[in-house]
Amino acid sequence: MNPANSLVELPVLTPQGKFLARYSNTGLAELDFPSARESKRASSRKPFPASVRRWHRATTTALKQSLAGQNPGHLPPLDLSGGTAFQQCVWRALRKISMGRTKSYGEIARAIGKPKAVRAVGGACGANPIPVLVPCHRVLAANRKLGGFSGGLDWKRTLLAGEGVEI
DNA sequence: CCACGGTGGTAGA
DNA sequence: TCTACCACCGTGG
């Protein structure tokens, strides 16, 4: 019954490294940046449900497109049920930021009707389980400065540069 | 409770 | 410009 135990993990090979995607029974639940540490051994060779294979194809295409600065196109269903109500609100707002565009933490806070929860928005961005596809990297500080990034600021710079965003 | 952030705004040098 | 300081709020210990 533990959702974490039922997650299926699959790699996504990209020019910038091997991402890891994890699926619940309702969709893509997590996406990890390539880690320096190579995972020693991996997933069972058990056949995956057709749904997962279909979702993973969508994830792979969308991720590669995004990394290439192209429109991601069709996304797999996203399982964001792991977050708190507040976090899901923020993530929903993040998904409305189109490619090549940015918003500030304050703007997100206002968009979700909690103008004072600015720092909390930062926290929610950091808790985003599906970076890149849920574009938390498009949130900058109010002064149009870079702000922070859980996955490492290098990634944030890379992703923004790929979309043609100037800081 | 308390402490901590991927903040923002203000004040002063 | 940059630094210092503080109000603010959701999360996790």
Domain range list for chain A: 3-67, 85-162
Q: pTM here?
A: 0.94
Q: Which of the residues in chain A have pLDDT under 50?
A: 1-3
Helices A118-126 and A85-94: crossing angle in degrees, nearest 10, is 80
Residues 107-166 of chain A within 7 A of strand C, judged by CB, are: 114, 116-120, 123-124, 127
Alpha-carbon distance values, A11 to A18, A84, A143 (Å): 6, 27, 37
Please report, as a single letter, which amino acid is at residue A27: G
CA distance A67 to A48: 26
CATH T-level topology, domain A85-162: Arc Repressor Mutant, subunit A (1.10.10)
Phi and psi angles of residue A138, each rounded to the nearest 5 degrees, phi first: -90, 10
**Separation of alpha carbons A52 and A55, rounded Å:** 5
* Distance, CA of A101 to chain centre: 16
What pLDDT is stored for residue A1 in this prediction? Answer: 46
User: In the structure, how far is the CA atom of residue A59 from the C1' atom of nucleotide C3, in angstroms?
Assistant: 44
Inter-residue contact A28 to A60 (CB < 8 Å): no
Q: Just list the catalytic residues of A.
A: 136
